[in-house]
Structure 1
Amino acid sequence: MVEHAEIRMVRRGGSKINFREPVITNDSRFLLCAAGESVNVYSTSTEEFVHDLQGHTDLVTGVVLNPSNHLQVYSCSADGTVRLWDFMDGILIKTFIIGYPIYSIYVSEKHGGVVFVVVPMANYKSSELFQLVAVHLPRSGDQEVEARELSAVLCDVSPHPGAVSFGREGEYIAATKGLQLEVFFFKKQKSYRFSLKSGMKKGVKNAFTCVSCHPKEDCIATGHADGKIRLWRNFNQKKEYTYTTLHWHHGAVNTLCFTPEGTNLLSGGIESVLVHWHYTQENQKDFLPRLGAAITHIAVSPDGSLFCTSHSDNKITIIQSCVKVSAIIQGLVKGDGVWTDLIIDPRSKALVLNGKPGHLQFYSLHRDKQLYNLDIVQQEYINEEGLDQFEVVKAAFDARGDWLATVEERRKKGAELEINLKLWAYDKLTQSFVLNTTVTAPHEDRITGMFFSPSPETTMLVTTSLDDHFKAWLLPDGQAEGFWSCDFVGGYHLLKPGCCSYSADGSLLAVGFQEVVTVWSPASWELLTTLSQPPGAIRDLCFGRLSCSKYLLGTSTKNQLCCWNLLTCSLEWSTPMDVSLLQADPLSENMAAFCSQSGSSDLFVFKPSEPRPLYSQKALCTGKVQHAVFAPRDQMLESCEERTQWLNRSQLYFITQDMDLLTFSTKTEEDRLLASSKQLMVDDSVAVTPFYLLLGKHRRQQLEKQEALTNPMAERTQLPQGSIAIKELLHTPAHVLPSASFLCAMFVRSLLVSSFCRSSQALSGWMGNVTAQLFSGLSRDVRSGSSPGSGCTTQGHSETCPEANPAFSWLCA
Structure 2
Amino acid sequence: MVGGGIISRRPCTFSGDGKFILAPTNNVVHIYSVVTGDRVNILEGHTSDVTSVILNPENPNQVYTSSLDGRICIWDISDGKRVAIYEVQHAMVHMVLHKDLKSAYVSIQCNDPQQPGRIALVNLGDAQYSARTRKYFPRLSSTVMKLRKTTPLALSPSGVFAATIIKQSLLIWRTGVDMNQSVNLHHTKAYTCLAFHPTDAMVAVGDVSGRILLWRDFAEHVPAVRKEGAHSGNYLPPVPPPLTTVHWHAHPVCSLAFSPDGTRLLSGGHEGTLVMWILDENHVRPTFLPRLGGPLIGIHISPEDPSKLVIRQSSNVLRVINTATLKVEMSVFGVRPPPAGVASYIADAGAQVVSALSGSSAANIGSGKKLILLPSEDCHLQWYDPVADKHVRLLQIVPRNQVDATSISSTISDLFPGVIPSASQPHNSNNNPFHALFSNSAVVQPFVQHVAISPNGKALVTVDVRPLGYVPPSSSVAAGAQGGGKGAADGGALTEASLKFWSMAGEGEFEINTRVEDVHNGHITSVAYHPFLDLVVTTGGGHGSDWEFRVWAKETRGGAAAASRLAANQSKRIKGAEGGEGTKGEDTKGKAKNKAESEASPIYEYWHCRSVASYRNCPLRTATFSADGSMLALATGSGKVTLWDVFENSLLAVLPSVTSAGVSSNGLGVSAAAAVMGVAGLNGTIVLGAGSSNSGGGGGGG
Contact 1:393-1:408 at 8 Å conserved across structures:
yes
Please state if 1:343 is matched with 2:355: yes
Contact 1:393-1:407 at 8 Å conserved across structures:
yes
Distance 1:511 1:187, change over 3 A: closer
Residues 534-553 of structure 1: pairs in structure 2 closer than 5 A: 534=659, 535-546=673-684, 549-553=685-689
Q: 1-side partners of 2:36 and 2:90: how far apart?
A: 38
Secondary structure at 2:158 match in 1: helix
Contact 1:553-1:561 at 8 Å conserved across structures:
no
Contact 2:520-2:547 at 8 Å conserved across structures:
no
Contact 2:212-2:245 at 8 Å conserved across structures:
yes
Q: Which of 522, 531, 534 pairs up with 1:459? A: 534
Tell me how far 1:116 sits from its aligned partner.
2.1
Deviation digits for residues 52-80 of structure 1, max 9, x if unmatched?
Answer: 11111111111111111111001112122
Please state if 1:239 is matched with 2:229: no
- 2:399 is matched with which residue? 378
- 1:449 is matched with which residue? 526
Q: 1-side partners of 2:91 and 2:454: how far apart?
A: 47
CA root-mean-square deviation: 2.3
Secondary structure at 1:135 match in 2: strand
Q: 2-side partners of 1:83 and 1:506: how far apart?
A: 56
Secondary structure at 1:400 match in 2: coil
Contact 2:107-2:153 at 8 Å conserved across structures:
no
Please state if 1:47 is matched with 2:31: no
Q: 1-side partners of 2:529 and 2:328: how far apart?
A: 40
Tell me how far 1:158 sits from its aligned partner.
4.8
Secondary structure at 1:444 match in 2: helix
Aligned length: 539
Q: Which of 136, 141, 150 pairs up with 1:159? A: 150
Deviation digits for residues 305-333 of structure 1, max 9, x if unmatched?
Answer: 42111011111111224533221122221
Q: Which of 106, 112, 130 pairs up with 2:117? A: 130
Residues 513-552 of structure 1: pairs in structure 2 closer than 5 A: 513-514=636-637, 515-531=639-655, 532-534=657-659, 535-546=673-684, 549-552=685-688
- 1:422 is matched with which residue? 500
- 1:494 is matched with which residue? 617
Secondary structure at 1:482 match in 2: strand
**Paired amino acid for 1:418:** E
Distance 1:274 1:380, change over 3 A: closer
Q: Which of 66, 77, 81 pairs up with 1:91? A: 81
Q: 2-side partners of 1:557 and 1:434: how far apart?
A: 37
- 1:738 is matched with which residue? none
Residues 659-674 of structure 1: pairs in structure 2 closer than 5 A: none
Off by >6 Å, runs of 4+ in structure 1: 477-480
Structure 1 stretch displaced more, 380-389 or 281-290: 380-389
Contact 2:356-2:372 at 8 Å conserved across structures:
yes
Tell me how far 1:144 sits from its aligned partner.
3.5
- 2:316 is matched with which residue? 314
Deviation digits for residues 570-619 of structure 1, max 9, x if unmatched?
Answer: xxxxxxxxxxxxxxxxxxxxxxxxxxxxxxxxxxxxxxxxxxxxxxxxxx
Please state if 1:67 is matched with 2:57: yes
Distance 1:379 1:224, change over 3 A: closer
Distance 1:373 1:561, change over 3 A: same
Tell me how far 1:247 sits from its aligned partner.
1.1
Residues 578-597 of structure 1: pairs in structure 2 closer than 5 A: none
Q: What TM-score results when the alignment is normalised by the length of structure 1?
A: 0.63
Distance 1:187 1:459, change over 3 A: closer
Contact 1:551-1:563 at 8 Å conserved across structures:
no
**Paired amino acid for 1:240:** V
Distance 1:500 1:366, change over 3 A: same
Distance 1:523 1:187, change over 3 A: closer
Contact 2:128-2:136 at 8 Å conserved across structures:
no
Contact 1:179-1:208 at 8 Å conserved across structures:
yes
Secondary structure at 1:232 match in 2: strand
Contact 2:547-2:619 at 8 Å conserved across structures:
yes
- 1:56 is matched with which residue? 46
Distance 1:210 1:381, change over 3 A: closer
Secondary structure at 1:385 match in 2: helix
Tell me how far 1:550 sits from its aligned partner.
2.8
Q: 1-side partners of 2:519 and 2:458: how far apart?
A: 22
Distance 1:499 1:309, change over 3 A: same
Identify unmatched segments of 5+ residues in structure 2. 224-236, 347-351, 413-443, 472-480, 484-494, 562-602, 660-672
Tell me how far 1:393 sits from its aligned partner.
1.1
Distance 1:377 1:128, change over 3 A: farther
Deviation digits for residues 411-436 of structure 1, max 9, x if unmatched?
Answer: 31255221110000122x33211211
Distance 1:343 1:144, change over 3 A: farther
Deviation digits for residues 602-639 of structure 1, max 9, x if unmatched?
Answer: xxxxxxxxxxxxxxxxxxxxxxxxxxxxxxxxxxxxxx
Contact 2:658-2:699 at 8 Å conserved across structures:
no
Contact 2:339-2:379 at 8 Å conserved across structures:
no
Distance 1:107 1:358, change over 3 A: same
- 2:164 is matched with which residue? 175
Tell me how far 1:197 sits from its aligned partner.
5.5
Q: Which of 90, 98, 107 pairs up with 1:100? A: 90
Give percent identity, aligned residues only: 28
Deviation digits for residues 449-489 of structure 1, max 9, x if unmatched?
Answer: 111011x2x32101111221111111137978421111111
Q: 2-side partners of 1:529 and 1:477: how far apart?
A: 33
**Paired amino acid for 1:328:** S
Tell me how far 1:390 sits from its aligned partner.
2.6
Q: What TM-score results when the alignment is normalised by the length of structure 2?
A: 0.73
- 1:258 is matched with which residue? 258
**Paired amino acid for 1:253:** V
Q: 2-side partners of 1:431 and 1:166: how far apart?
A: 47
- 2:380 is matched with which residue? 359
Residues 242-321 of structure 1: pairs in structure 2 closer than 5 A: 242=241, 243-281=243-281, 282-303=283-304, 304-321=306-323
Secondary structure at 2:155 match in 1: strand
Q: 1-side partners of 2:250 and 2:322: how far apart?
A: 26
Q: 1-side partners of 2:146 and 2:161: how far apart?
A: 15
Contact 1:120-1:127 at 8 Å conserved across structures:
no
Tell me how far 1:544 sits from its aligned partner.
2.2
Contact 1:120-1:131 at 8 Å conserved across structures:
yes
- 1:714 is matched with which residue? none
Tell me how far 1:400 sits from its aligned partner.
1.5
**Paired amino acid for 1:331:** G
Contact 1:500-1:541 at 8 Å conserved across structures:
yes
**Paired amino acid for 2:552:** W
Distance 1:149 1:329, change over 3 A: same
Tell me how far 1:131 sits from its aligned partner.
0.9
Distance 1:188 1:558, change over 3 A: closer
Residues 326-341 of structure 1: pairs in structure 2 closer than 5 A: 326-337=329-340, 339=346, 340-341=352-353
Distance 1:565 1:390, change over 3 A: closer
**Paired amino acid for 2:658:** Q
Q: Which of 434, 444, 453 pairs up with 1:397? A: 453
Q: 1-side partners of 2:5 and 2:460: how far apart?
A: 27
